[in-house]
Every structure is written in C-alpha cells, then in structure tokens.
Copies of this chain bind each other. A is one copy, B any other.
Amino acid sequence: MTALTSGKTRPVRLADIAKAAGVSHGTASNVFARPEIVRDEVRERVKAAAEAMGYAGPDPKGRLLRAGKVNAIGVATAEPLSYFFDDPFARVMMASISQACDATGAGISLVSAANNEQLAWNIQSALVDGFIVFCIEGGSRLVELARERKLPFVALDLDSENEAVAAIGIDNVAGAGLAARHLAELGHRRFAVLALESADAGFGPVTQEQVETSALYSGTRDRLRGYFAELSRFGIDVSLVPIYETLNDEESVRAGLEHIFALPQRPTAILAMSDRMALHALDWLREHDIAVPGDVSIVGFDGVPEGADSKPPLTTVAQPIAEMGRLAVKAILENDGSLNRQLLPVNLVIRASSGPSPA
C-alpha cells in the first residue's frame, strides 16, 4: 500500500469479506456467529478472506443495534470519576458490584462528569443496559437524568422522599440512633456532630434552626434525626449540640474539628456521618494529643475496612455494603419492571474508638 493509493483507509466491513469470499453477507455473518452451521470449506474461505483483508471480526457497534443488549451496567455519580477509586465507601461498594457483574459476565461503565451539562450528556449517551446511581450528594438531579433514559435503574442510598424511585438503602434513622445510644450509654453528655453535605454544597457550622429549614439531603437529615431522637431520650438538649458540615474530605474535617474544639464546652463524643470523616478526625485528634477514647470517643458510619485497622480501630455503624451491591446489580439485570425499594438493616460495630465518658 503506497502513500498514493492508501489515503484514509475505510475500515473493512463484514460485507467486504463476504464479497471477497464470494458468499452472501448472511453466510459471512454465520461464519463468526454460528460457525458450526457453515460448511467447512466455505468457513475456511471466509476466514481466509478476513485474515487477508485484516478484518478484526464483527464490529460490536453494528451488532449492538440489532441485538439491543450492551451487556454492561452503568454506574453513575455526580462526583468526578476518580471518586470510585478514592473514596473508601465507594470502593467497597464497587468491589461488590464488580463481583456481581463478574458472576454474570456483565461489564461496568463508569459515568460521571465534572460539570452539569457534561453529566447530562454522559448519562444520556451512555451505552448501558441500566444504571446504578450513587446519590451521595446531588442525588436528585442524577436520579432524574437516569430515569429519563427509561432504562432499568436503581438508586443507592435511597432518598426516602421520593417513593417512586427504585432504591436500595439503609435505615439511616435507626443506624444513627444506634451510634448515639451507644455513646450515651457510655455516659457521654457533650456531643458534636460531623455532618455530610447539605444540598447547597457548602461547609461550616450549622445551626439547629438551619437543620429544620434547609434542604438537607435526606441521608444527612435522617442521620441527624436518628442521632437527636436518641440523644433526647437521654435528656440531652440537642439544640446545644454543635453540628459542623464537611465536604467529606480531610481539609473540611480538620476545619470542623478546629471549630468544634474551640467552643467553650469541648465535646467528649463525636458522631461522624462517615467513616472517612471519622478516620480523618482520628488523625487530627492524635496530632492534637487528644486521646481516643480517653478524652474523646468517636463513632463513624459506613463500616469501611479501613476502620478496622485505624489507630484506634473505629467504632462504626456498618452498612451491609456487599449485600447492597449484589442487590443493586440483581435489580438491574433481573429487572421485571416492578419498583424495587429495599431498606436494609445496619449494625453497630463496637471497636476501640469509643469508651466511657471521662467526666
């Protein structure tokens, strides 16, 4: 092939092979899809032609249109793509989704976007058979977009508001209650809360009043409710409990702790809405020579594996992450059109980050 004759070479199609081998395109297709029904001699001829012309085999793009099934599940998030590999909770969840996909031979497509327009387009044009939506935050928009595709889909971390959305989630109120009761029973009376983001994606201290009025994400709100319901039961005035909202990253957790420990009444117990926050908090406390659980007890939320190896190991409210991943994949692959809403139980894992109140 010289520079003169080549130019931009048009890719070889199945039809080209068929013509070269002197058979119909139907037969050529059979050679690749069901070789056993083609006569030996013909099959070899077609294969030889394919080989000679550098044909890579039937293009999945063409097959897809006819077949309809992509054989891949889309996992969508409003965070950057690297969230799937950076965040401890996401990682464990993805590992369990992976296992379920492996078992059925389905692939995984990661869908995300930096900005909102891009996100919409990415969701609209994703080649998948269904979506699993991570709605850690910014969930509603994402759920909306995914639903518009009219593909099987299921939200993880369910928004209890919207009953019409298929979702697999946990009982946030009950889980938070377990954490709060555990600490209260250990004698703690001065609490602080490290909260996840609310809808307006800011961070900083939050007043009780704001909690009532602002549009918190339902997960955040439910956990807060769970904490407070239980604390009230122990006679604690929850209106005095400082709440600091973080971005679930190291920087804002540190800022939160600076704030909390600068208050006149230092807490002896911290309720963190994620293990990630709790682990960052552990680092900060160690650096500030605040003993855990000697001076301060802390309870996380999620049950990520890192919590078992931290110093000290983290007491936490464990979500059944593996179960959730498995159920989510099942809901997509075995979608029967019915609305799948499941609320899974959580359980308190008591480790060394919580102990009796020093007071």
Contacts and interface: CB of A to CB of B under 8 A. Distances in A.
Contacts of A103: 114
A102 B80 contact: yes
A207 interface: no
Given A64-B61, A84-B85, A108-B109, A72 B127 contact: yes
A247 interface: no
A125 B65 contact: no
B56 A81 contact: no
Copy count, this protein chain: 2
B102 A82 contact: yes
Contacts of A85: 84-85, 91-92, 94-95, 98
B54 A127 contact: no
Nearest to A32: B124
Interface string A221-233: 0000000000000
A123 B33 CA distance: 16
Contacts of A111: 107
Given A64-B64, A101-B81, A110 B108 contact: yes
Contact of A122 (B64, B92, B95, B105): B105
Nearest to A125: B60
Contacts of A96: 82
A119 to B, nearest CB: 10
Nearest to A311: B311
A294 B101 CA distance: 46
Nearest to A56: B150
Interface in A100-140: 101-103, 105, 107-114, 118, 121-122, 124-127
B56 A82 contact: no
A63 interface: yes
A35 interface: no
Given A107-B109, A109-B72, A118-B105, A124 B81 contact: no
A52 B81 CA distance: 35
A82 B99 CA distance: 6
A302 to B, nearest CB: 15
A62 interface: yes
A68 interface: yes
Contact of A98 (B11, B60, B84): B84
Interface of A: 11, 54, 56-57, 60-65, 68, 70-72, 80-82, 84-86, 91-92, 94-96, 98-99, 101-103, 105, 107-114, 118, 121-122, 124-127, 148-150
13 contacts: A56-B150, A57-B149, A81-B99, A81-B108, A84-B85, A84-B98, A85-B91, A85-B94, A85-B95, A85-B98, A86-B95, A103-B114, A105-B121
Given A64-B64, A80-B102, A85-B92, 9 more contacts: A57-B148, A60-B125, A61-B64, A61-B70, A64-B65, A72-B109, A81-B102, A105-B118, A108-B110
